[in-house]
Structure 1
Amino acid sequence: MPEHISPPPEKLTAEKLTPEKLTLERGFTTKDFTALRAYVQRIAPAVIARTYYNPDEDPHAATPGSMERHLNAMLDALVALALAHGSSALAEHLRASIRQHGRPLLTAVTFRMVIEAAQLAALPPQADHAISAWLRPRVAHRLKGEGIQTLGELVAFCNRRGGSWWRSIPRIGPGRARAVVSWLRRHEAHLKLRVDADVDSTDQAGVPLVAAELVEVVPLAKVTQSGLASGSSGGSDSENRLTDRLTLAPLERLAVPHALSGAHGENRSAAFCYIQANHDLEAVRAYLNRYRDQPKTLRAYTKELERFLLWAVVLRGKALSDLRVDDCEAYKDFLKHPDPRFVGERFARHSPRWRPFASSTSNASGSAALSPDSQRYAVRALRSAFSWWVDVRYLAGNPWKAVNDPVVIKRERAIKIERALPAELWRKVRGELDARSAEAGGVQGRESASGVQWRECRNGVQWRAVRAAILLMGDSGLRREEAASARREHLRPSSYGTLERPVWELTIVGKGQRERTVPVSAATLKALRAHWSDRVKDDRAKDFDGATEEGKQSGPLLGPIVIPWTDASRRRHRAGQGGDGDSANEAGYTADGLNRLISRMVTELVETMDNLSLDERRQLGQANAHALRHTFASHSVADDVPVDVVQKVLGHASLQTTTLYVQAEKQRVVEEVARYYAGAAHKTGR
């Protein structure tokens, strides 16, 4: 066993350290004990200082000498405590070692006994303690980057963000996060703070355990009475208590008291009902089931109906099938200024902190008021749902028919076509993408135990991925959802091409589930080939032109090179492999993921491109994924492509929508000529 020799016992006697004095003046943390254990095992003081302490906050870790003096002093204090409070056998052993060697010789076993005897010197963690006193410097440094300074702030941060609290913090993965939360839970009694139950809930098949629990919501009147019964007095404290006690849950976890279930609602139809719905929740689910094959529509309608149902039960104290016109008018007013208790940060739907309205839309007053357009959408969605319930004879009448739509301003241009990149800027961006994509780079490392898991990606590979996405959207006018769902088997040479001018075409399913075919440029095809080669590990499938056969699924055109090391990501990206482990058959980008990728890389271009003017940096900085679609439309119209052709490529249902780009081109012509007039007047002095 390695041994550590402490200083002579005379030093201990001279300092006359007592446990009481030590406890009052300074308490040792678990980090101190860990560092001292490493010192006993003959780890160099310099390594201990670097591993367990931050020299900026711990002066004793500034130099190896000061670190060693600090560790020796700590060891002296612990030996003194062990002599005073340890077992008689341990005390006799230490005294014998001091008499024989002039100092105590500690092995790993005797050191552990000393630590156990001296536990009264350990200061329990408190909510106001700095995180650097308890966590390793690297972890503490990353948490401080999020503005977390104390243990209390760390608990609040975890409770506010829920189970994914660690995702926004660099280099804090699920393993470290679980260890931090476990430590916080062990010390809840000392911290006098509680970590919420779902902060580290375990997933099974991708579904958190807490999601299986049904949550019964109750009317606000009952919550208020309960709060008063508990003896709450004082306005602000009572409001805070009521805010905390207001229980809300999304539709899939929602349970309603029988009295408010609508089983005997006043507006229930007496005629034979076409759906099997005994109460309002079943009627809502039957209506939403109509849109099970339209995920975006289903998500939007679910949001509106669960908001309305929660408002009716919790704030109005009525069942959905009891509501009348005045109730609907009240909800229309509620949408202008939602109750703060219905508003919160974005959380997963299984989290107890989920709220129907997201605070990201909050104004300065803390409200989450919807825009007039969103208010009108909500009213129309509810009116449509009630009409269907009347048609299937669940309800006798539709009170929303007597409610007017919220007033909205008719915009001159509903589409923000001004975000389209000018021709010269578009040319510069394409050239920069080509240059960065040509950088040497390849994918390195795979995780053999779990199939295809990319560990590391050099810069050129990522730029080739973003170039393929940007050109596919900017040269073919695709929406981000269409680009994300585009597949290799739907891309083929067009029968209308020639040897001199070959043309490829891509068939996609666009908005409104309408299928259309768009042309693909030669530059886009080249970019897709390079991106395909980066992704596919099978040499036989690397041939982009021959990667598909009739009737065979060959994979998405765009897919991530680096897959996050999380269970959810691995499940999603391997769902389409079919057991062959081919990365081309993995799930591609989601629409949101593709948008984030493009936004991140465009930001890097704005910050690092050399040949951009200040105005061009501003224009490029305002661009997003959808701006690439506007770019195609504006440039094709400017190059005299017929408007009806542009309409077919863009998938516009109305030609009137496409003519907006013609008006934009006219505006550009006027602006350019006006600039010419101004320059000519300056030259002539008139």
Structure 2
Amino acid sequence: MRSSGRKLHAGHFAFMRALVEGLDLDKSWDRYLATEGSATDKRVKRSTIAWIRSEFAAAAKRENKPGTARLVLLNLGGPTEDAPAPASKPTAKAPPTLEEFVQAIGMEDFSEAEQIERYVEEYGKASQEDPKERTRLQRRARLIKRQLLALDWLEQSVSQLPAGGDSVEAWFAPSLAGHLKKAGLHTLFLLAERINGVGWRWWTVAPGIGELKGARITEWMKLHADSTYLPIGEHALIRRSEADPGQLALVVRPATDLVPLEKFKVPAELDGSQGAFRAERSLLSASNDYEAITAWLATKQEQPNTQRAYRREAERLLLWTVLERGKAMSSLTTEDAMAFMAFLKEPPARWCAPRHLQRWSPLWRPLEGPLKAPARQQAQRILSGLFNFLMKQSYMIGNPFSGVTPPKVPVRPLGSGRTLTRDQWAALEAVAAEDKSLLGRRRARALHWLYATGLRTAELCAAKCGDLEAVDYIDATGAQRVGWILNVIGKGTKHRGVVVPSSLVDEFQRDLADHGKGTVTDEANKGLAILADLDKDDQGNKEGWTPSGLYKAMKRVMQSAAATMDGPNAERLMAASTHWLRHSHASHGLNSGAVSMMVARQNMGHASLNTLSKYLTTERDVAIREIEKFAGGKKPHE
């Protein structure tokens, strides 16, 4: 049953006019009613046409036009999905009586003349040269003209325009509206917000709505933007890979609102030019707090990952200071700093959004949710560093965060709770090996490189073929072999050489050869990312995944592996992330005895062996085995 809350729009009338005029049914459907469903779905088509006619008739009756109500129920446009005409009438069976025919097609309320005309249309055998046939055709033409005039009158009387606050069920087919509502998109406003905020693939949030239906809904929303006052950006009409960065940059306009730092407009009275704790003379040319933050971030431009982390914390502080505290950043007191740390622990919902929403999106927010103690501790450390920098540059006279007690974080072994077991790793390998698609092979490549090298996500994303170096070495048998070192610039812009198993390089070489790209040492491949999409490199794309893209790719593999396991194993894999592979590399290598502390330290990029010792569980395992032996292998309650 269709919702009584559905409204009639211009598309319904245009479609029915096309039907009356005998135009192609499927083409008319795709043109005017594509959001109702597929033109090939006869059931949907029949029920939609029947609903439209019934709504037309009901509207005419409300206007005290019973004749018009009967007229719009007539099918005058030839065969339709709700009244299909047989290819050929059976000759062996006599036609039904007029009474039987009328009951079969539901024309009991029509005049006898109309009933006879329809009966003759279906079963008459007179030729067009017959005067009676000509009379019938003339009468039918008059009825079609009357019906078209009736549709024009009805459209003026009952057709409505969509408004932004309307429910989706008022304008879309019940099944489509149901999928949208399950995804939390209850109104046209929320739907437009989602489309503009995510772009082409906005529909992934709503199971049951695929790419085709999503594109049709987007087009419908764009068509009715004048009445809803909900414009759909051009970026939402094309795939992300085809979108111009400049186009995306225009989606969110500069504002004094919850927008990224680069779009944030600080009111003049809160910009810090007259901050309470500004020093008289500064080594910075910055005249306000925003410019001071920019100068601080510029000192980290050679460390893009560090710069992103610093920007995130400064961004949150500046937004909170202006939007929530109503102060300039250079006017913050120690009490303000304490209030900000409490805010990070329990931020309002409007400050939070999923992490996958990118900075160009109007749905972006500075937080995902409440920050745990380690994240708050890091935020305080970074912000204290910001104010120390500003003090050293004589921009400010004090550091409000220096008097704030840092959150207490329990000291736990490095990687504790974030290391995969051998069985969990085996499940990941198995799932990755099963996917033979091009994307699946690329995910498997990333999975094995992360685990076998212990690289950080950003380090692997930045790795190029030109960073690989072939070196001669002597193996355990005394034979000379060729090994591989990946030259990495890690934290603090420190260089280290990470040993890469030759099996990984060999596998990568085979992939390159399959795509006609030579070897990793070829000059043409020097700038090719280790994780590049080799199928797209022909268009000049040498880049691999971004850290965010790699994170999502690995989460997909981990979720698939979780589906193959039960209980705690499944829960652990669902919670795992790319960084777990780095911890697992160190833990598995050290505890198996296959990797020494010295080698693990070099691959992981840790400054101290003491850090690596926290991965070792051998002493713990020995202790458990000895106590179990002492107790006779019995459980305490036994």
State TM-score, norm by structure 1.
0.66
Is 1:180 aligned to residue 160 of structure 2?
Answer: no
- Does residue 394 of structure 1 match 2:395? yes
Give the letter aligned to residue 592 of structure 2.
D
Partner of 2:584: 631
Return the offset for 1:595: 1.9
Deviation at 1:195, TM superposition (A): 2.8
CA RMSD across the alignment? 4.8
Pick closer, same or farther for the CA change 1:674–1:144 going to 2, 3 Å.
farther
CA apart distance, 1:589: 0.8
- Asked if 1:596 is matched to 2:525, the reply is no
Tell me what 1:496 maps to: 473
CA distance in 1, matches of 2:315, 2:142: 65
Over 3 Å counting, the alpha-carbon distance change for 1:195 and 1:525 in structure 2 is same
Larger Rg: 2
TM-aligned CA deviation for residue 523 of structure 1: 3.4
Cα contact 1:163–1:199 (8 A) shared by 2: no
Residue 85 of structure 2 corresponds to none
Once the two structures are TM-superposed, the CA of residue 658 in structure 1 deviates from its matched residue by: 0.7
Which structure 2 residues correspond to residues 611-630 of structure 1 after superposition, within 5 A? 616-630=569-583
1:311 counterpart residue number: 320
Alpha-carbon distance, 1:385 to partner: 1.8
Q: 1:281 aligns with which of 264, 278, 290?
A: 290
Question: What does 1:561-600 align with in structure 2 at a 5 Å threshold?
Answer: 581-582=539-540, 585-600=541-556
Distance change in 2, residues 1:665/1:103 (3 Å):
farther
Matched residue type, 1:285: T
**Any conservation in 2 of the 1:486–1:556 contact (CA below 8 Å)?**
yes
Deviations 1:553-580 (A, max 9, x none): 24011124687xxxxxxxxxxxxx7xx6
Q: Could you say what secondary structure the match of 2:472 adopts?
A: coil
Whole-Å separation in 2 of the counterparts to 1:340 and 1:427: 39
Give the Cα separation in 2 of the matches to 1:401 and 1:147.
Answer: 40
Structure 2 residue 164 is the aligned partner of structure 1 residue 134: no
| Higher mean displacement: 384-393 or 619-628 | 619-628
Please tell me whether the aligned partners of residues 485 and 556 of structure 1 are also in contact (alpha carbons under 8 angstroms): yes
Task: Summarize the alignment of residues 327-406 of structure 1 with structure 2, pairs less than 5 Å apart.
Answer: 327-338=336-347, 342-343=351-352, 348-350=358-360, 354-356=364-366, 358=367, 360-361=368-369, 368=370, 370-395=371-396, 397-400=397-400, 403-406=403-406
C-alpha distance in 1 between matches for 2:201 and 2:529 = 27
Alignment CA distance shift 1:605-1:680 (3 Å): same
Q: CA deviation at 1:301?
A: 2.1
In the alignment, structure 1 residue 486 sits paired with structure 2 residue 463: yes
**Cα distance change, pair 306–417 in 1 and its aligned pair in 2 (3 A):** closer
Contact 1:159/1:196 (<8 A) preserved: no
**Rounded Cα–Cα distance in structure 2 between residues aligned with 1:196 and 1:48:** 25
Opposite residue 331 of structure 2, the aligned amino acid is: D
CA distance in 2, matches of 1:401, 1:121: 66
Quick one: distance in 2 between partners of 1:317 and 1:485?
40
Matched with 1:253 is: 263
Please state if 1:206 is matched with 2:242.
Answer: no
CA distance in 2, matches of 1:586, 1:324: 49
- Aligned-pair identity in percent equals 24
Superposed CA deviations along residues 378-421 of structure 1, whole A, max 9, x for unmatched, are 333222222222222222x1142651332313322242355222
1:265–1:322: 8 Å Cα contact kept in structure 2?
yes
What does residue 571 of structure 1 align with?
Answer: none
Give the CA deviation at 1:112. Answer: 7.2
**Quick one: distance in 2 between partners of 1:264 and 1:416?**
47
Question: Distance between the aligned counterparts of 1:27 and 1:311, measured in 2?
Answer: 43
Q: Distance in 2 between matches of 1:600 and 1:464?
A: 13
Offset at 1:600? 0.9
| Structure 1, unpaired ranges of 5+ | 1-23, 86-96, 189-193, 218-246, 362-367, 438-458, 564-576
Unpaired runs of at least 5, structure 2: 73-132, 205-209, 238-242
Distance 1:69 1:169 in 2: 29
Match of 2:521 among 548, 556, 561: 548
Contact 1:251 1:306 in 2 (8 A): yes
1:322 and 2:331 matched: yes
- Residue type matched to 1:303 in 2? R
Q: 2:140 aligns with which of 92, 104, 127?
A: 104
**1:19 match:** none
Q: Which amino acid aligns with 2:447?
A: I
Match of 1:416 in 2: 416
1:206-225 to structure 2, matched below 5 A, reads: 206-208=246-248, 210=250, 213-215=253-255, 217=256
| Aligned amino acid, residue 592 of structure 1 | S
Q: Tell me, yes or no, if the aligned pair for 2:270 and 2:326 is still in contact at 8 Å.
A: yes
The one-letter code matched in structure 2 to 1:515 is: H
Report the Cα distance in structure 1 between the residues aligned to 2:5 and 2:312, rounded to whole angstroms: 56
The residue number in structure 1 matching 2:454 is 477
Structure 1 pair 643/335, CA: closer, same or farther in 2 (3 Å)? Answer: same
Residue range with higher mean Cα deviation, 673-682 or 510-519: 673-682
* Secondary structure of 2:496 counterpart: strand
1:407 is the counterpart of 2:407 = yes
1:84 and 1:180 map into 2 onto residues whose CA distance is 30
1:505 pairs, out of 473, 485, 491, with 485
Count of residue correspondences? 548
Contact 1:474 1:629 in 2 (8 A): yes
1:55-87 C-alpha deviation (Å, 9 max, x unpaired): 99xxx97498777777888899999759999xx
Give the corresponding residue for 1:195. Answer: 230
Cα distance, 1:167 vs. partner?
2.9
Q: Which amino acid aligns with 1:270?
A: E
Distance change in 2, residues 1:343/1:120 (3 Å): same
Alignment of 1:534-545 (within 5 A): 536=515, 539=516, 541=517, 543=518
C-alpha change, 1:644 and 1:665, in structure 2 (3 Å) is: same
